[in-house]
Structure formats: structure tokens, C-alpha cells
């Protein structure tokens, strides 16, 4: 396998070479399957993998191209799906024994879009229990005695180890940005409501957001472009033009971006190495970066997010507890019990808080292209009994703004630490363009 370069290709490079006929989808899939065979016994990123099914899809994709058929932007490209996304060809068990053997009859909207774009559905990646906090079997690829983060643990670890070039994840609090930080990959959580969640496990529909793991900003943009299509079956979506993420992310900013460095209300939880890394990065950015303090009302964000998330989880995951409480973790049951006690007044206040905080963020984005802040406190914590602190993601998920984790730092033990970049709602393309610019600046300063 070491002599095989195909599984090391970026998703964009692989897609272009597939379209030109320079490589076949079957050869590419075989490369990833060999990688999975060699690595996944230790990392355990996959909840379901059927090599023959992957090969059948790849062979069909090659025949279609050879026959001169029209090609989608992801034609022949393998992609992994978090195991909370319904797939008609594969089981979807949602990380719980209560759904063991569950086989959906139809595809989620994102799966239909992937098929339409020509993607190869490689398999399903491990999620924590019902996409919340209780860990699954996946281990951190940089240190298997540490957590990969959650809840999109398998997706992040699979991309980090080149077992797939792209993977779908989801975030209701910190479920993409945190594992991207811990595993050392790019994790893109788009603006809330830009990717359909129809056919995906519901936790808290006011917060749930699908996103993408990749090894570059451009690769995130490639996949996101194919998925950002209006779907009336998702009440959070509205008709709007596609953002042309790949094209804009590859372009040069018309002027030097201005970055707001925001410590957020949980800065004191950062590790010393994280603080030192940010000090160095902010210094390197010079006049392009300015520290900005959030208004004091943002101190309520964690409480408001908790109220909203717990109440909606109690509603949507409550049926699981009613039919199998003994097969669920105490940490999840505690959340469901807490959410059932949320008053209508507190819930409405939490909904109203989203608009209040976004007014404050809009004032910042009137002056700055993006906000920079930690993706996590530091390196992935030791132990596999928990998935780490999501609080560095909470404000941004609650406010529905786009965010991307970039693997730009290391902690005291040489493990990855992500930098989180946040943009204005529905300005995802500018965020990704600024992210590419930031990576270039970091490489120059290094």
C-alpha cells in the first residue's frame, strides 16, 4: 500500500483525474479499501463497510464514463457517511443498540444528492450514541489512547488516516469542529439551513447542521457545493442560489482580510500551548488581526444553547428512552430528563437569544471578514470514556454561523490543535476563501 499514491490524492485532484480518465474509480476505491484493511483494525472508524458494494459502484461509475455519459462533480469519488444518515443500500444504526440492524428503505436527501453527483458511497462511519456524547469505538489516529472527539468521531478519524478523502458529519454543539481539531483535519460546518437534514437523525432541529470533513479547504468546498440544494422537506431551508464555494475559495481575496480575534467566554479553559499558539499566530497576522471582545450578553450563550438543545433532544430522542431506557447511557438519559423539565418561557427565551447574539455578531462582521478563536481547549484528552469539551463551538453553533476548523497548531505533546474560523451567516464562500488565505499566512510565518 505504501507505494500506492491514489489514497493520498486530494479529493479535488482525484475528481479531476477521474473526469479526465487518467485513473479509474475502481482503482481509487481499491486504494482506499486497502488502506481501511490495514488501518481500521486499530482506529475503528467504520460502523459499516461492504467492499464488494463499493467495488460495484466504482465499476458502474467507470462504465458510465467510458460510455460517454454526463459526469457529476463527484463522479467516481469515494465518500463516507456518518451513521445517522439514512441509506437505502446500507444499515443506519445511529450509534445505539436500540437501532441495531435498522435498514432504512429510502435515502436521506444528501445521499440522493451524492448519488446524483456520481459519488461512491464507501460506507458508514462511527457516531457516538445517538450523535450526542457517549463514545463509540473509534480511537484518535494520532494516539489511540486518546479520544477522537465526537459525535462525528468516525468521519474525522477516517479522513485523518486517508481511509476516505471526504466524509459527512453533523454538529449540534461541537460535533464536527472538535473532532476535526483532535484528529488534525479540516472540518466545515456550514451556515445552518444550507444542507438538507431530511432523512438524518433529529437531535435538536433548531441547531442540527450537516457538514464536511476533508484534508483541505478546497476539498470541503467541492463536496459542499454538491450538497447545498434547496429541499422543501427540511423546514430550516429556503430557496437561494448556490454559493459557488469551490470557485470562490480558490480565488484571491480582493483586499487583505481583516480578522477579529475573539477569546469567547470560555478562554480560561484553554491549555497553555493553545494560548501560546494563538499568541504566535495573532502576532504573525499583524495588522490584519485585531482582538475584539464580545458583548457581555454572549455570556448567556452556553445556558441558552443548553436549554434549546436539551428541550429538543427530550422531544426527539424521548421515544428511545421510553422503549429502551436500560440500553442508554446515563449521560444521555440525564440530558433527556433535564430537557423534559424546560419551561415554555425558558425555551422561547433561548430561541429569542439567537437573534440577540446574531445582532452582536453582525456588528463585528461589518468590520471584519472572519472571527478566529480556538476550536478546542487543546489536544485530544487522554482516555476513551468521553469526547472532550465542546464549549469552544457552542456560541457559533447556537448562532447558526458557518465555521471551519483548520489544523494549524500543535499541543505540548505534538498532537494537533485546531484553529476555528467563523463567518457571517450565509457568507460561507468568503469564509472558505479567508480560510485558504489564513493557511497561506500560517505557512509563510512558519
End-to-end CA distance of the chain: 31
In tens, the pLDDT along 45-95 reads: 999 999 999 999 999 999 999 999 999 999 999 999 999 999 998 999 999
Active centre residues (catalytic) = 82, 151, 175
Average pLDDT taken over every residue of the chain = 97
Q: Judge whether 210 and 247 are in contact, CB under 8 Å.
A: no
DSSP-derived secondary structure letter, 200: B
Q: Judge whether 442 and 289 are in contact, CB under 8 Å.
A: no
Mean pLDDT, to the nearest integer, of 256-274?
97
C-alpha 263/C-alpha 260 separation (Å) is 10
pLDDT at 165 over 90: yes
Q: Which domains does the chain have, with CATH numbers?
A: 1-446 (3.90.1300.10)
In tens, the pLDDT along 289-327 reads: 999 999 999 999 999 999 999 999 999 999 999 999 999
C-alpha 135/C-alpha 121 separation (Å) is 24
In tens, the pLDDT along 91-136 reads: 999 999 999 999 999 999 999 999 999 999 999 999 999 999 999 9
In tens, the pLDDT along 343-376 reads: 999 999 999 999 999 999 999 999 999 999 999 9
**Best CA proximity match to 337, nearest among 351, 318, 316, 309:** 318
SS3 state of residue 169: strand
Mean pLDDT, to the nearest integer, of 238-248?
94
> What is the Cβ-side half-sphere exposure of residue 58, based on CA atoms within 13 angstroms?
22
Amino acid at each position: 500500500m505504501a507505494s500506492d499514491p491514489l489514497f493520498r490524492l486530494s479529493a479535488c485532484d482525484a475528481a479531476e483525474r477521474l473526469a479526465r480518465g487518467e485513473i479509474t474509480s475502481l482503482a481509487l476505491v481499491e486504494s482506499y479499501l486497502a488502506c481501511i484493511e490495514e488501518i481500521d483494525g486499530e482506529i475503528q472508524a467504520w460502523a459499516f463497510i461492504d467492499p464488494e458494494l463499493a467495488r460495484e459502484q466504482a465499476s458502474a461509475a467507470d462504465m458510465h464514463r467510458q460510455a460517454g455519459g454526463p459526469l457529476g462533480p463527484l463522479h467516481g469519488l469515494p465518500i463516507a457517511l456518518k451513521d445517522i444518515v439514512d441509506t437505502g443500500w446500507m444499515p443506519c444504526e445511529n450509534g445505539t443498540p436500540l437501532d441495531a440492524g435498522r435498514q432504512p428503505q429510502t435515502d436521506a436527501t444528501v445521499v440522493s444528492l451524492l448519488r446524483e453527483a456520481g459519488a461512491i458511497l464507501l460506507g458508514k462511519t462511527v457516531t457516538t450514541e445517538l450523535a450526542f456524547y457517549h463514545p463509540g469505538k473509534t480511537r484518535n489516529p494520532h494516539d489511540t489512547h486518546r479520544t477522537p472527539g465526537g459525535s462525528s468521531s468516525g468521519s474525522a478519524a477516517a479522513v485523518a488516516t486517508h481511509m476516505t478523502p471526504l466524509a459527512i458529519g453533523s454538529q449540534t454543539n461541537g460535533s464536527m469542529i472538535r473532532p476535526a481539531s483532535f484528529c488534525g483535519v479540516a472540518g466545515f460546518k456550514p451556515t445552518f439551513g444550507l444542507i438538507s437534514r431530511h432523512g438524518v437523525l433529529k437531535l435538536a432541529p433548531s441547531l442540527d447542521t450537516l457538514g464536511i470533513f476533508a484534508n483541505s479547504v478546497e476539498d470541503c468546498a467541492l463536496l459542499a457545493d454538491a450538497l447545498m440544494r434547496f429541499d422543501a422537506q427540511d423546514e430550516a431551508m429556503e430557496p437561494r442560489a448556490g454559493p459557488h464555494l469551490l470557485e470562490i475559495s480558490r480565488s484571491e481575496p480582493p483586499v487583505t482580510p481583516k480578522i477579529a480575534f475573539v477569546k469567547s467566554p470560555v478562554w480560561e479553559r484553554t491549555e497553555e500551548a493553545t494560548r501560546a499558539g494563538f499568541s504566535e499566530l495573532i502576532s504573525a497576522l499583524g495588522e490584519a488581526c485585531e482582538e475584539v471582545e464580545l458583548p457581555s450578553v454572549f455570556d448567556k450563550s452556553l445556558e441558552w444553547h443548553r436549554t434549546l438543545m436539551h428541550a429538543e433532544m427530550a422531544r426527539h430522542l424521548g421515544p428511545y428512552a421510553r422503549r429502551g431506557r436500560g440500553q442508554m447511557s446515563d449521560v444521555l438519559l440525564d440530558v433527556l430528563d433535564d430537557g423534559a423539565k424546560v419551561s415554555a418561557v425558558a425555551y422561547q427565551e433561548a430561541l429569542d437569544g439567537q437573534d440577540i447574539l446574531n445582532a452582536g455578531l453582525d456588528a463585528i462582521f461589518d468590520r471584519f471578514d472572519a472571527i478566529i478563536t480556538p476550536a478546542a481547549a487543546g489536544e485530544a484528552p487522554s482516555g476513551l470514556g468521553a469526547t472532550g469539551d465542546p464549549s469552544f463551538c457552542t456560541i457559533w453553533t447556537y448562532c447558526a454561523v458557518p465555521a471551519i476548523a483548520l489544523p494549524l497548531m500543535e499541543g505540548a505533546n505534538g498532537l494537533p490543535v485546531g484553529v476555528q474560523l467563523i463567518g457571517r451567516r450565509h457568507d460561507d464562500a468568503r469564509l472558505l476563501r479567508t480560510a485558504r488565505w489564513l493557511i497561506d499566512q500560517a505557512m509563510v510565518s512558519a
